Amino acid sequence: MKASKESNSPVDPRIAVIDKRLENVERVIAVSSGKGGVGKSLIASVLALHLTRKGFMVGLFDADFTSPSTHRILGVKNLEIKEERGILPMSVHGLKYMSIVAFSREKALPLRGADVSNALIELFSAVLWGNLNYLIVDMPPGIGDVTLDIIRLVKKIEFLIVSTPSVLAFETVEKLLALLKELKVPVIGVIENMKMKKSSFIKEKVAELGTSFF
């Protein structure tokens, strides 16, 4: 059964609100990976900080609900949520920030299936991002509910894929790229992280797939 942007499920009224919440966000970039442990969250955080220091208006949303880590990378200590006709993102190092940790308070969240989808829809429909040049989304690794849901929910989504220079890591990246191509989702390119020695393996594989390499 092929993945699809369309769903036969009853329409959730919150979904209609998502477009409104993101109407003043120019680009939404999902930083993703085929597997964990490739430095995806670090790259998402550094990218958001770099763009902020370049003078852009930037938001960072940690969508890895079961293993959020961007708050640690950014050194966020005060995760206080304020509401004003919606949830106001926190201001961290000049960027707007949101993470499920603000609600879970570091407690384990054993979410799965419909619970994950519900949490994603709730945050996308409730958070007031305002005017942004970039909204960076730190994705959970792999091809799971969050990946499929964000493709369905966010019309302007683009993907930036992170891989390490290993055959195992890139095999999962190839599957992710194949899915994105099938669904006609824009891919910015593939970042090779944790490169320890000179090797053109990832670069050559990315070129074969017709994708940009960083």
Write out pLDDT tens, residues 33-73. 988 889 999 999 999 999 999 999 999 999 998 889 999 99
Is residue 6 a part of any domain in this protein? no
pLDDT tens digit sequence for 146-157: 999 999 999 999
Mean pLDDT of the chain: 89
Is residue 213 a part of any domain in this protein? no
Is residue 7 a part of any domain in this protein? no
| Statement: residue 115 has pLDDT above 50 | yes
Q: From CA 125, how far away is CA 171, in angstroms rounded?
A: 34
Output the domain CATH number for residue 52.
3.40.50.300
Domain count, the chain: 1
Is residue 4 a part of any domain in this protein? no
pLDDT tens digit sequence for 162-209: 998 888 888 999 999 999 999 999 999 999 998 767 778 788 888 888
What percentage of the chain exceeds 90 in pLDDT? 62
Is residue 111 a part of any domain in this protein? yes
Query: Higher model confidence: residue 128 or residue 107?
Result: 128
Is residue 2 a part of any domain in this protein? no
Copy the structure tokens of residue 98. 């949101």
Domain region containing 152: 13-208
Is residue 8 a part of any domain in this protein? no
Q: CA-CA distances (angstroms) from residue 61 to 10, 68, 135, 166, 182? A: 27, 10, 7, 28, 25
Is residue 198 a part of any domain in this protein? yes
pTM of the model: 0.89
Which residues contact residue 175 at a Cβ distance below 8 angstroms, ignoring those fewer than 6 apart?
34, 143
- Note the pLDDT of residue 180: 96
- Note the pLDDT of residue 1: 40
